[in-house]
Structure 1
Amino acid sequence: MNMKIVRLSAVALIAGLVLAVSVAPAARSQVDVSPSYLPIGVAASGNTSTVWFHEPSSRQTLACQTVVTAGKGLTGIQCVAAKLP
Structure 2
Amino acid sequence: MEIVDKTKNKQKEQWQLGDVLKSNDGDIEMIIKDNYNNYTIIDFKGDMMGFGPFSIYELGGHDTISNLQKEYPNYHKVNAKLVIE
Instruction: Provide TM-score, normalisation by structure 1.
Output: 0.29
Query: Rg larger in 1 or in 2?
Result: 1
Instruction: Provide TM-score, normalisation by structure 2.
Output: 0.29
The answer to which structure has the higher strand fraction is 1
The answer to which structure has the higher helix fraction is 1
